[in-house]
Amino acid sequence: MRSPSPEKRNSRSLAAVVVATALTACGAARADGRRFDCVIDPTMTVKLGSPTAGLVSEVLVERGDIVAVGQVVARLESSVEAATLELNKARAASAARVEAQAARLTLSRARMGRARELLARNSVTRDKFDEQRADMRVAEEDLAREKVELRLAELEVERSRAVLEQRTIRSPIAGVIAERKLSPGEFVHQDTFIMSVVHLDPLHVEAFLPVAMYPKIAIGETIMVAPDEPIGGSHAATVSVIDRVFDPASATFGVRLLLPNPNNRLPGGQRCKLDFDEAARERDAK
């Protein structure tokens, strides 16, 4: 029998090494039990910009500050908008023109009443009566126009107030200031942001599990999450998303869990472990 060629011997050796490595990896996976790597991330990260371009006049928070929903965190220079609002408020507050037209209409109606009585007694011509009636209708139209003008002035106040409000930057979420990008005196436009805010309660726990785990996990299931040191500890999280499309290259699928985080006690952006065995023990203990 002829001995195998050196190329074949090398190929067999390489295959043996690959098989041995695979068996070692499988053994390590079994030894680790049902623990899988994961990452703890903020629920959302919002980069706060401005609906209008302008000069930043003040920034009211620093990195690391905790903010509430709707809290004012920055303002743009708004002296022109504030002056416009005051001007429109003064115009809307003045009802003198409406009151003057109302008085004119009252007088015109009184004259119209006397003209009607005189016409009934044939003491005034029909032309004079028609002229007086036309004056009354003009007075009615003038009063209606002044009321419309007053209403438009009130709407201008609301518009000016909305424009001024756009110069005030509020946090849309409760969270922590993660980054402060601009300072007073710098210009903000559509391609920049002033700061970023991260929402940390709850946290998102992202993980990729082997497809063998797909039948064993369900929405709403509680799984224990163990953050890496130095945070440590074990925390209960609830499954909120299970991907319905597998990754064929790695034979895995993605899951997301919600981890309650009152008072933002846990930081985001850290590695962790999902411990299915501990979750099972917790259920058995109950």
Judge if 130 and 160 occupy the same domain. Answer: yes
Lookup: tokens for 15: 């295959």
Q: How many separate domains does the chain show? A: 3
Last residue of a domain, one of 177, 195, 213: 195
Judge if 211 and 224 occupy the same domain. Answer: yes
Alpha-carbon distance 254 to 217, whole Å?
A: 11
Judge if 70 and 90 occupy the same domain. Answer: no
In a domain, 228, yes or no: yes
Q: What is the pTM of this model?
A: 0.67
Judge if 91 and 141 occupy the same domain. Answer: yes
In a domain, 206, yes or no: yes
Judge if 185 and 219 occupy the same domain. Answer: no
Give residue 99's pLDDT band: very low, low, confident or very high (50, 70, 90). confident
In a domain, 106, yes or no: yes
Q: 274 — phi, psi (to 5°)?
A: -90, 125
In a domain, 15, yes or no: no
* 41 neighbors 62 (Cβ within 8 angstroms): no
Judge if 68 and 86 occupy the same domain. Answer: no
Range of the domain at 95: 80-165
In a domain, 7, yes or no: no
CA dihedral 31, 34, 38, 42 (to 10 degrees): -150
In a domain, 21, yes or no: no
Report pLDDT digits (tens) over 226-270. 999 998 899 999 999 999 999 999 999 999 999 999 988 999 999
Report pLDDT digits (tens) over 150-207. 899 999 999 999 999 999 999 999 999 999 999 999 999 888 999 999 999 999 999 9
Judge if 138 and 249 occupy the same domain. Answer: no
Judge if 251 and 277 occupy the same domain. Answer: yes
CA 55 vs CA 19, 86, 188: distances in Å: 64, 21, 6
